[in-house]
């Protein structure tokens, strides 16, 4: 929800009553600086397999508190991916915040926790191409399981040198 939108939020337990009339003409959500100055909060709407609906409004102050926990983000300014994809990043933070507090399965909880962890990857060793003897391949009489070889007999035609 942005400053240019008309909205109200009424607490309703698991399902808040949210009235929203977005003003798409005044929004410039592709500009990170504009999003930072005008975002009031994000509404998260979730529905579980049993049909239970959860809604929660996550205000800008909480989103900023979550954003600035990142070492590369400073209060008062967006930088890096946050500047380029501000709306998407705020939505992701709001969604994660709400999901982490819902009664969810262990599998979903595990995914949420893993998303917080720094990805640790081992460098993949480069495979060196295996050298093969072309003469052995060309003279092979059998087809091996690893290398399927078909012998092709070239047709050679002798041409006399005509000058």
Q: What is the pLDDT of residues 40-99, one digit of tens each?
A: 999 888 777 778 778 888 999 999 999 998 888 888 888 899 999 999 999 999 988 888
How confident is residue 10, by pLDDT bands cut at 50, 70 and 90?
confident
Three-state DSSP state, 6? strand
Mean pLDDT over 119-128 rounds to 57
In whole angstroms, how far apart are CA 27 and each of 10, 86, 116?
A: 24, 13, 31
Report if pTM > 0.85: no
* Residue among 88, 37, 76, 41 nearest 60 (CA): 41
* Of 27-36, 73-82, 137-146, highest mean pLDDT: 27-36
How many CB atoms are closer than 10 A to CB 11? 8
39 DSSP 8-state letter: B
In whole angstroms, how far apart are CA 81 and each of 9, 32, 87?
A: 30, 9, 11
In whole angstroms, how far apart are CA 95 and each of 12, 15, 119?
A: 19, 15, 21
Asked whether 35 and 93 are in contact (CB, 8 A), the reply is: no
How confident is residue 119, by pLDDT bands cut at 50, 70 and 90?
very low
pLDDT of residue 137: 66
pLDDT of residue 53: 79
């Amino acid at each position: 929800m942005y400053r240019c939108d008309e909205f109200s939020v009424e607490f309703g337990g698991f399902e808040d009553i949210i009235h929203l009339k977005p003003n798409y003409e005044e929004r410039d959500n592709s500009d990170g600086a504009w999003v930072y100055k005008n975002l009031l909060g994000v509404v998260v709407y979730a529905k579980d397999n049993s049909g239970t609906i959860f809604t929660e409004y996550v205000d800008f102050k909480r989103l900023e508190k979550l954003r600035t926990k990142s070492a590369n983000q400073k209060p008062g300014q967006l930088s890096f991916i946050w500047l380029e994809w501000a709306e998407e990043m705020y939505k992701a933070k709001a969604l994660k915040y709400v999901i982490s507090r819902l009664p969810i399965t262990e599998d979903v909880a595990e995914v949420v926790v893993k998303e917080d962890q720094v990805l640790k990857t081992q460098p993949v060793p480069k495979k060196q191409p295996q050298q093969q003897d072309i003469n052995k391949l060309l003279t092979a009489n059998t087809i091996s399981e690893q290398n399927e070889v078909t012998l092709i007999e070239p047709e050679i035609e002798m041409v006399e040198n005509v000058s």
